[in-house]
Chains A and B, each alone.
Chain A
Amino acid sequence: MWAYITYFVNATVLAAALRMATPLIFTSMGGIFSERSGVINIGLEGMMLTGAFMGMLVTYYSGTPWVGLLGALASGAVMGLIHAVASVRYKVDQVVSGTAINIFAVGFTVFMLRTVFDVAGTSPAVPRIQSITLPLISRIPVVGEIIGNQNPMVYMALALVVLVHVFLFRTVWGLRLRAVGEHPKAADTVGINVFQTRYIAVIASGALAGLGGAYLSIAHLSRFGDGMTAGRGFISLAAMIFGKWTPFGALGASILFGFADAVQMRLQEVGIPRHFVQMGPYILTMIALAGFIGRATPPKAIGKPYEKE
């Protein structure tokens, strides 16, 4: 029995779970920024895909994946800006704007891939951010095997969670951001600029989703492929909801979903179709939203454009 369990839960699988969770962590942190400020962001998928492509493209031309990462960050921010202009300034329905961004990203990335490289499907290989071995920690049994030898972006993602938590709950800017998402009118009354706050939050959201996408193309792999995010933006959205719009909650959900991703092949081997494992995150999120496992309640002002009187 024990051997059976350790076949599914062991250091190798957990290390893989962390790798699979990393793009979800970046992107769900992005989701938290946007939604905590009151702006639904279902465009995360498209922002991620754009980041994956631009990360590859900038790496291709600069030869340095770290520069590519900046490119991904910037391109994600631009997509965030578009979402912000549409939904904050022009009061476009936030879900519609997000949908448009997702469709745009699919068209734009394939269009550019074919135009720049004259290839369909997969970009040429580019240098990637290499994994590193942490001194000392890597020698700790089990723990070292899980976190001792990972990609720098994995560590960045974990650090980001702490930073976002501190920002949201321990700084005045975080308080303002949350106020804008819960009760914009009250926030406005005490002199917080609702529009500016939402702009910054949504741009940050896109930038982080861009990093999440870049992890796929220039850290985990070393090339871009059509549609390579494959729904991870939506899983990140699910992780954010499942984690009740908190950084540590989203981290936990991301790792859980990453674990499902990492273990699916092994489950397939024992006769559990992997498709049912892949459905897991989505079904869990629906159950959480319905209130069956501790109700997940979104920020109050979410989805509503703010009208200044």
Chain B
Amino acid sequence: MELQQSSYSSRDLLVPVVSVILALLAGSVFILIVGENPVAAYRVLFVESFGSVRNIATTLQRATPLMFTGMAVAFAFRCGMFNIGAEGQLYVGAIVAAIVGVSFANLPRLIHLPLAVLAGMAAGGVWALVPGILKAKLGVHEVINTIMMNFVAYYLTDYLVTGPFHGGRWAPETDRVFPTAALARIFPPTRLNSGILLALVAIGVVYVILWKTRTGYEIRAVGLNPTAAEYGGISVSRNMILAMGISGALASLAGVEQVLGVHGRFIQRFSPELGFVGIAVALLGKNHPVGVFFAAILFGALRTGGAAMDRLTDVPRELVVIIQAMIIMLVAADELTRGLLRRRRTV
């Protein structure tokens, strides 16, 4: 797997684009199983995700959390670590944002909203520091620990949302956050909210950190070759811990955006695996903020179009989940994807 592309070239675009096309082609087999026409079904998917301004707004809304989780995974990748715990980090960030959001009445918006956002970020960042520290100080593989911490986060938030912070309604959810903590809807009636502006800022900030600061240079150096970095006077453990913290903070923003901008409250197990789809987004986006932005829009469109396809045709929305899985596999197997291309050319 290529973790370390620093910028895009047309060659780098080849594998992602071909992977998406191949995955859609393979997905058409499943559409045929259902007895629908793949061309017609994909037409619905495309029109419903990009066909009108309103549909585009919905697509962007679905893409917003994926920009955060995609960048979270990409950021850790840049330091040579696999953060498979974005899902847990976003839950922790979401519950903390919700708690702050329901707690302080009569706080001015200018204080309440940033407080909720920053508290969520901090919580997710600290959550991710744990596997970061265990990796840096004890050499424990971060993959297993981030997986384990996902489950701890699920059960912890299950407890909080059914126990101390259970709202007034029967359902396992908190009360609605005060309007002073809500991210404004910017294109009603869709649920697109100012969280997307936050995502754009985050994309810019991540780009600047990674390529315009000494810290970013060190993080990438550690990701490329930890031994060489250490010899060059860069602290591997310090950068690993830092990268995981930033990664966790980014992931938690996805949960913050869902709570403060979309649902208005924390709902038990609300996330449709946003953290895991973030892995797909990071891979497809080649771990670059700009790539992540476009990959997130693609996956947001798949989800928007998939829901419409479910409504308007016999094709279940889970088709897009299957397609997502195939995209991950094909992008990661770039040797296979390139090989297929070469074979096609020689025929």
The interface of chain A, by Cβ under 8 A from chain B, is 40, 42, 86, 90-93, 95-97, 99-104, 106-108, 110-111, 114-115, 231, 234, 237-238, 241, 273, 275-276, 278-279, 282-283, 285-286, 289-291, 298, 303
Contact = CB atoms under 8 A, between A and B. Distances in A.
Given A92-B332, A282-B152, A273 B322 contact: no
A92 B1 contact: yes
Contacts, number: 129
Interface residues of B, number: 47
B246 to A, nearest CB: 20
Contacts of B324: 103, 107
Nearest to A45: B147
Contacts of B283: 96
A90 B335 contact: yes
Contacts of B111: none
A260 B145 CA distance: 20
A283 B148 contact: yes
B335 A114 contact: no
User: A97, A104, A276, A285 — which one has the most chain B CB atoms within 10 A of its CB?
Assistant: A104
A279 B82 contact: no
Interface string B141-166: 10111011101101110110011000
Contacts of A231: 151, 154
A223 to B, nearest CB: 19
B145 A286 contact: yes
A115 B322 contact: no
A255 to B, nearest CB: 19
Contact of A290 (B134, B279, B329): B134
A108 B10 CA distance: 33
Nearest to B134: A290
B144 A241 contact: yes
Nearest to B335: A90
A93 B154 CA distance: 26
Given A93-B1, A93-B332, A110-B316, A273 B149 contact: no
Contacts of A115: 33-34, 316
B95 interface: no
Nearest to B30: A111
B328 A99 contact: yes
B319 interface: yes
Nearest to B35: A115
25 contacts: A40-B143, A42-B143, A86-B332, A90-B335, A90-B336, A96-B283, A96-B329, A96-B332, A99-B276, A100-B326, A102-B276, A103-B324, A104-B325, A104-B329, A107-B318, A107-B323, A107-B325, A111-B322, A234-B151, A237-B144, A273-B163, A276-B155, A283-B152, A285-B144, A286-B134
B347 interface: no
Contact of A106 (B30, B145, B273): B273
Given A95-B143, A282-B151, A286-B149, 8 more contacts: A96-B1, A102-B276, A104-B329, A107-B322, A110-B321, A237-B144, A273-B163, A286-B144
7 pairs of A and B residues whose beta carbons are closest in the complex: A107-B321, A104-B325, A275-B159, A107-B322, A111-B318, A100-B328, A282-B148
A289 B144 contact: yes
Interface centre among A91, A101, A111 (most CB of B within 10 A): A111
B25 interface: no
A106 B84 contact: no
Contacts of A241: 144
Interface in B118-173: 134, 138, 140-141, 143-145, 147-149, 151-152, 154-156, 158-159, 162-163
Nearest to A284: B148
Contacts of A99: 84, 276, 279, 328
Given A93-B1, A95-B84, A290-B138, A103 B325 contact: yes
A238 B329 CA distance: 24
B133 to A, nearest CB: 10
A273 B159 contact: yes
A104 B144 contact: no
A275 B335 CA distance: 44
Contact of A95 (B82, B158, B280, B323): B82
A103 B319 CA distance: 11
Contact of A100 (B155, B319, B332): B332
B174 to A, nearest CB: 16
B140 A92 contact: no
Contacts of A86: 329, 332-333
A92 B2 CA distance: 10
A101 B336 contact: no
Contacts of B159: 273, 275-276
Nearest to A102: B276
B325 A291 contact: no
Interface in B307-347: 316, 318-326, 328-329, 332-333, 335-336
Contacts of B276: 99, 102-103
A264 to B, nearest CB: 11
B334 to A, nearest CB: 9
A155 B301 CA distance: 48
Given A86-B329, A279-B155, A289 B140 contact: yes
Nearest to A96: B332
Contacts of B320: 107
B156 A104 contact: no
B321 A91 contact: no
A157 to B, nearest CB: 23
Contacts of B158: 275
Nearest to A286: B148
A103 B329 CA distance: 11
Contacts of B1: 92-93, 96
B134 A234 contact: no
A185 to B, nearest CB: 20
Contacts of B328: 96, 99-100, 103
